[in-house]
Chains A and B, each alone.
Chain A
């Protein structure tokens, strides 16, 4: 009886330790549910591609991904499936095959405190360097009330100069908007294109929040994904020739 009590106490202490944030280690079940990610592929000429992904990590260590890619010449949306594993020291290994059969692999480091994962694409036959920060959605599905209120935003990348896809220049955009039912009311945006600053007039942008927590902005102009329970959203420019990623963050 005494031994059993000691054993129970020891097991209880061990189980407490496993969930103590100071001693935090990861279990195979560390990643479950929906996560959003944007990555930029860096080549010798700068950004050479962008992606936006919504991952659904399943109980059986399989993963489903809905993703957008912009390679400059074209942008598209697709889905894929794959497998993942999480080691006790919080490392993620993820492999997926796209519909064309191309394998891609990610290595990640999970922060057990907030489930944010730093990820790096790892296949050695790819010259580009792609990486990003994967963030939990904290939601199973979304409706339009998940993306509502005042947000600040910042985006940066390379865009075609005067719609010429052969002449790319760096650009950043900064401003704020109010997300309402089916549109964004954007009173101001500062645009820095190749070092020249302009201020855009107030505008309205159509917005649709999908059940999957993906967002369509500007009727196919931008793709976004809601993360952190709608507190933050990641987005990418889908225009031909544009390599631009951004973040929207609630003001309060």
Chain B
């Protein structure tokens, strides 16, 4: 009896995929190009925690990386320029000029939708890694965030001063609704040291055309984030001095909810 034609096609495809997997080929995966969002978390070599969020623009062989980082609780913004190379799914961003000594090593996965990265810098050595993901949107506005997201965040808050500084761990999970007009409402569970609590409240937000955004608490920027994967995911950083906290929103839906702004 002849095999079913569909089975023949499937068998042929499995042979092709199998052969490709065996060779470990990186063929047909496009080199990174265009706007990306990045998140990094780790520590400085002196043990202080480190976290960063930002956007990267990759055009052919050059890149511009705009990073907002909390280095041991101090918020630092920097722009890094340099060159790009891609060899067999391995991405290298090398800083040039004043940024010499900065390097971002990357490993392309998920057909280029997710790039694992680790940061290297000689001026202030760090061990920090995370992901680089394509923005997949030309531009953004407050309406881009319309909908409900879940989020998870973890990190440390600086406690004490001088030689008595300690790092208190904190973790949160929660939901946040965005109305598409600049108002949001969150509800979260918090674990901070031995204590567990629940909290909820409203915030304001503003999204820039470059798809970065800020959440405002009493008019002041409290969180900075970047929209990636076409608005499905948003890594973010707490902007308050003394905090080193990285989080990530993941979209649940795009439905509109009327909210009262604070």
Contact = CB atoms under 8 A, between A and B. Distances in A.
A185 B24 contact: yes
Contact of A131 (B22, B109, B152): B152
A138 to B, nearest CB: 16
A112 B252 contact: yes
Interface size class of A (residues with CB under 8 A): 35 or more
A130 B107 contact: no
A124 B21 contact: no
Interface residues of B, number: 61
A214 B166 CA distance: 37
B129 interface: yes
Contacts of A249: 109-110, 114, 116
Given A111-B150, A153-B107, A178-B24, A192 B118 contact: yes
Interface stretch (A95-103, A115-123, A218-226): A115-123
B173 A107 contact: yes
Contact of A122 (B152, B167, B196): B196
B230 interface: no
A180 B118 CA distance: 26
The main secondary structure of chain A at its interface with chain B is strand
A201 interface: no
B116 A154 contact: yes
Contacts, number: 166
Interface in A167-210: 169-172, 174-176, 178, 180, 185, 187-188, 190, 192-197
B52 to A, nearest CB: 14
Contact of A178 (B21, B90, B118): B21
B169 A44 contact: yes
Nearest to A199: B105
A154 B13 CA distance: 30
Contacts of B89: 152, 176, 251
B100 interface: no
Given A150-B21, A252-B29, A120 B191 contact: yes
A120 B26 CA distance: 37
A47 B217 CA distance: 30
Contact of A129 (B29, B41, B192, B254): B192
B192 to A, nearest CB: 7
A175 B107 contact: yes
Given A131-B152, A170-B45, A154 B171 contact: no
Interface stretch (B55-63, B119-127, B177-185): B119-127
A174 B120 CA distance: 12
Contact of B109 (A108, A128, A192, A250): A250
Interface in B151-197: 151-152, 154, 156, 166-175, 189, 191-196
A142 interface: no
4 pairs of A and B residues whose beta carbons are closest in the complex = A195-B125, A149-B21, A42-B169, A154-B116
Given A122-B189, A170-B43, 8 more contacts: A43-B169, A109-B175, A111-B150, A129-B192, A131-B171, A172-B129, A178-B24, A192-B120
Interface of A: 21-24, 42-46, 107-109, 111-113, 116, 118-131, 133, 148-154, 156, 169-172, 174-176, 178, 180, 185, 187-188, 190, 192-197, 247, 249-252
Interface of B: 20-22, 24-26, 28-29, 41-43, 45, 47, 49, 89-90, 105-111, 114, 116-118, 120, 125-129, 150-152, 154, 156, 166-175, 189, 191-196, 250-255
